[in-house]
Chains A and B, each alone.
Chain A
Amino acid sequence: MAQPAHEYPVESGVPDGMQFLHPTMLKNFGNWKYHDRPRPGVLHHVAHSGDEVWTVRVGTQRQLGPYEINLICDIIDNYADGYVRFSIRSNLEIMVDKEEKVAPLIQAFEDAGYPVGGTGNSITMISHTQGWLHCDIPGTDASGVVKAMMDELHKEFVSEQMPNRVHITTSCCQINCGGQGDIAINIQHTKPPKINHDLVANVCERPSVVARCPVAAIRPAIVNGKPSLEVDEKKCICCGACFPPCPPMQINDPDHSKLAVWVGGKHSNARSKPMFHKLVAAGIPNNPPRWPEATKIVLNILDKYKNDAKDWERVGDWVERIGWPRFFELTELPFTKYHIDNWRGARNSLNASTHIRF
């Protein structure tokens, strides 16, 4: 019998988180009593046993090399207890079992140029995709947009001054890997794909590409004697869904791939049910390296939210209360025919009442 070319992998799956738990967390697993937040960036949890842990939350650039990892680990080993976890938004959470360790730990991170914050009603780290650094279909960068915006939002990360927590997301294509957000900044293409007909037959599985189109705008065709695909450009919604399965259908365009801003997404079930974000602004230039036009719109929305929302209202809760006409009035963003949904189920988003604010 032939020997396998290589040893088979150990299909160990998800590593057990218990092996990396801080001893106080392991001891009190499932037996916590309450928590409070002594200052921005710090959580304090108290167990039924009376044990306590303090968590210091630290913002990062998400993409870490050995220098950063060793720098961070040195701080944790010197000032904390050797344990760390990552939040869903790429923040570090360092747990310690004594209150007196908190201040030196914060100082050490701040001295090393890492911001402490992101808790409670702050603007926490922007959720992050790959962009030009590594993705095969991005219309823009991810790390750059996030860095440029977090530079502007740093003061809101290290304080807790918003009405409620603010989750911002960015996405480099309309697949929207960044996800739903209180504010989402996403690529929105505005022109149909440009097709390289010489390559389609060799690169793309044509029936799958036809099936992928949400509006049935793609059909097989012979172009210049070669099997290819063609797009009914009047039907095309420029979503880019055909591009991943068929890279010769280039959707990204340096001028016509724009940014759009969406608001009011919320994952939590607190108060209202979870909500999707809604379009508020589009046609924003994709302008590296600092995307100032998009940042300006986001800062404006945040400013109005901060001043007008009540405590505990997320952006979506706030807009529900004040109504969309007031939102557009306050933010001075133009309201256009493109804000009116025309996808399936769209009539559910229309006002079928006389509930009108004056």
Chain B
Amino acid sequence: MAGQTPKNPEKHATYLPKEKTSSKPFHDTPMLDQLVDGPWPSFVTGLKRLASDNNMMVDLLGQLEHSYKTRIGYWKGGTVSVFGYGGGIIPRFTELMDDKGKPMFPESREFHTVRVQPPAGNHYSTDMLRKLSNSWNKYGSGLIAFHGQTGNIMFIGTTTDNTQLFFDEINGYGWDLGGAGPCVRTGMSCVGAARCEQSCTNEIKVHRSLVNNFLDDMHRPALPYKFKFKVSGCPNDCMNSIQRSDFAVIGTWRDDMQVDQDEVKKIVAEKGRKNIIDNVISRCPTNALSLNDDDTLEVDNRNCVRCMHCINVMTKALSPGKDHGVSILLGGKRTLKIGDTMGTVIVPFMKLETDEDYEKLVELAEEIIDFWAENALEHERVGETVDRIGLANFLEGIDIEVEPNMITHPRTSNYVRMDDWDQEAAKWKERKAAN
């Protein structure tokens, strides 16, 4: 904490080495220095520690201070990759030149980021963290971001030559590059079944089955635009997959949720009826809950939409059902270019138990990426393709039948041709009869 003297100043977030071994003197950084103090760990202190034995970081601090002064960024992109791959490196070259056209901060004139895929679920051992840190300290600036917004481990700051050397070393012990550019991107998955009782699927397996099937599409960018997979184990969607991924896989269940009535009674006794009515019963979005006179819970499971609220509040008493599966939503993204879109349900429920189930999931993703790659405009996310051609046409292209879980409500506009209504109605009846 600010204002308190650490018990052991040498093992503290605020520690700065007394001795400076980097040969280049520090630049003055009066603005960045104002971000040293305060209770939150300071990235500026971290950068200064690195700069005390690393000339690249001395100059990086110089350029960053210059940005703070002028309120402009000074990095430009370029083309850097490793042998055999077309993407995964974010090249950065300084744009800050002096009067003679020489870099003002030459030691950090090349400052590339290497995007590396994290383990599914972002799990690490301390041994592996130290190993990755040692490799990066050898070939790069030493600075690592855990993690970027797409989910990559970002090894920030190295030269073009060292990019290949670093990648060779970590590729040798099991690490592969992530995506950059118009390609399948690095995926993300929540902690899920590893620690969370609300998990309804094997997030690690879903994440790896999907992404590892598309490594060619990740490492050699040739798609219309980016394509992201995210996996959340339950509808709390901790991976933000509906809004932030093109292909969201979310664990859910289709039988009744599990209720431990003794635990319900205990929590009602502990918190009081009013508390439970106000915070659980009346918060149910479909009014599917009722508190009985004997303080047990009645659940209208046919009308439960698996929102998770009551389960989040009463973690001991309530849990998801046992007939697990996943919902799949397609086409979430932020603004560019048509405005924000959330993912749309294209598969309300599918089982994911057997190898065949997982193969079906991967085949669906292949079908979607193929259809999108063939029909999208340049720089068009899959959600925008759906928007442009209509969901019904998109579903026809990927061979999925329509169903009412895909919509909030049916169309309100009567400006539509419905020449073959009878055939379409017959298809629906046929499918119903087959089930």
Contact = CB atoms under 8 A, between A and B. Distances in A.
B221 interface: no
Given A70-B130, A241-B336, A270-B307, A85 B278 contact: no
B259 to A, nearest CB: 13
A32 B120 contact: no
Interface in A64-108: 64-74, 76-77, 82-88, 90, 93, 95
Contact of A84 (B70, B129, B212, B334): B129
B318 to A, nearest CB: 9
A181 to B, nearest CB: 10
B337 interface: yes
Interface in B212-249: 212, 215-216, 218-219, 235-244
A83 B83 contact: no
Contact of A274 (B60, B207, B242): B242
A114 B1 CA distance: 9
Interface in B187-221: 187-191, 193-197, 199, 202, 204, 207-208, 211-212, 215-216, 218-219
20 contacts: A12-B175, A14-B176, A17-B123, A19-B119, A35-B315, A83-B126, A84-B123, A88-B238, A112-B6, A112-B8, A133-B60, A136-B77, A144-B32, A144-B43, A148-B35, A267-B241, A269-B236, A269-B307, A276-B342, A288-B68
B265 interface: no
A335 interface: no
Contacts of B127: 82
B398 interface: no
A328 interface: no
Contacts of B46: 61, 63-65, 67-68
Nearest to B191: A85
Interface string B162-183: 0010011001101111000000
Interface of B: 1, 6-8, 11-15, 31-32, 34-35, 38-44, 46-47, 49-50, 60, 64, 67-68, 70-77, 82-85, 90, 92, 111, 113, 117-130, 133-134, 136-137, 142-149, 154, 156-157, 164, 167-168, 171-172, 174-177, 187-191, 193-197, 199, 202, 204, 207-208, 211-212, 215-216, 218-219, 235-244, 278-279, 283, 285, 305-309, 312-313, 315-316, 319, 334-340, 342, 377-379
Contact of A134 (B113, B235, B340): B113
A32 B146 contact: no
The SS class assigned to the A binding surface is loop
A269 B234 CA distance: 9
Most chain B CB inside 10 Å of its own CB: which residue of A20, A115, A129: A20
A17 B39 contact: no
A88 B122 CA distance: 9
B41 A9 contact: no
Given A34-B316, A86-B147, A141-B64, 8 more contacts: A16-B120, A17-B122, A63-B47, A67-B15, A77-B126, A134-B156, A178-B149, A312-B283
Interface stretch (A52-60, A222-230, A299-307, A350-358): A52-60
B143 A34 contact: no
Interface string A121-149: 00000011111111111111101100110
Interface residues of A, number: 122
A279 to B, nearest CB: 12
Nearest to A313: B283
Given A9-B83, A30-B202, A154-B40, A179 B193 contact: no
Interface in A226-255: 239, 241, 247, 252, 254-255
Nearest to B49: A67
B176 A9 contact: yes
Given A11-B215, A268-B308, A214 B174 contact: no
A119 B70 CA distance: 38
Interface string A6-18: 1111111111111
Contacts of B113: 134
Interface of A: 4-21, 25-26, 29-30, 32-36, 45, 53, 55, 59-74, 76-77, 82-88, 90, 93, 95, 111-115, 127-141, 143-144, 147-148, 150-151, 154, 174-180, 208, 211-212, 214, 239, 241, 247, 252, 254-255, 257, 265, 267-272, 274, 276, 286, 288-290, 310-312, 343-345
A267 B237 CA distance: 7
Contacts of A143: 43
Contacts of A60: 41, 146
Contacts of B377: 211
Contacts of A127: 149
A60 B202 CA distance: 28
A17 B307 contact: no
A9 B171 contact: yes
A34 to B, nearest CB: 5
A148 B238 CA distance: 25
